[in-house]
Amino acid sequence: MEIKDLGHVVLYVRNLERSATFYRDVLGFRQIAPDPSEAGETSRRFPAAAFASASGRTHHELLLIEVGEDAQAQPHGRRVGLYHIGLKVGDTDDELRDALARLHEADVTVVGASDHTVSHSLYILDPDGNELELYVDVPDADWRADPTLVVSAVKPLRL
């Protein structure tokens, strides 16, 4: 077997409407189901929402499933499991600066900013505490010729 692509991510969320608003209105995912204007009726049958990125690369890249406000929080610190999801927001630091400005406008807390040699990244939390990495690739970093660049020492990012 050979994996061809990373297909999609599914997240459990406490409040579907709150999370859908974040992923759609703050991060710019296109909500494909249910139609946001008809969400009440569809979400009663199955409390979920599907999203695609602007690239149109596949049928959906994100699915949110509501599990309720009483769901347990993600444990903090070192643990086994998902650390974060990386989302490419462009190809230049200017696009990353634009993303940072949009995050500030939406009162999203940035919990980190890193220069990974091959990418420049901002780290944020979604409404349920899932960590997201918003990144741009560094154009001159030739990771194809030198794959070890992917594990370069992390440096602070100054935008």
Q: Which two tokens stand for residue 102?
A: 């949009």
* 80-111: pLDDT as tens digits: 999 999 999 999 999 999 999 999 999 999 99
Domain 9-66 carries which CATH code?
3.10.180.10
The answer to whether 135 and 120 are in contact (CB under 8 A) is yes
Residue 44, CA distances (Å) to 56, 84, 155 in order:
27, 29, 46
Average pLDDT rounded to a whole number, residues 64-69: 97
CATH 3.10.180.10 fits 85-156, yes or no: yes
Instruction: Say which amino acid occupies 118.
Output: V
**H or E element that contains 136:** strand 131-137
Position with higher pLDDT, 22 vs 41: 22
pLDDT for 123 equals: 98
* 132-144: pLDDT as tens digits: 999 999 999 999 9
Residue 145, CA distances (Å) to 26, 95, 155 in order:
36, 26, 21
* 24-39: pLDDT as tens digits: 999 999 999 998 777 5
User: Cα(36)–Cα(17) distance, rounded to whole angstroms?
Assistant: 9
CA triplet 12, 57, 103: central angle to 5 degrees? 55
> Which residues are bridge partners to 125 per DSSP?
131
Spell out the long-range contacts of 76-85 with Cβ–Cβ below 8 A and sequence spacing 24 or more.
82/130, 83/131, 84/123, 84/130, 84/131, 84/132, 84/133, 85/9, 85/130, 85/131, 85/132, 85/133
Q: Which two tokens stand for residue 141?
A: 């970093």
Q: Where are the CATH 3.10.180.10 domain residues in the chain?
A: 9-66, 85-156
145 half-sphere exposure, CB direction, 13 A CA radius: 3
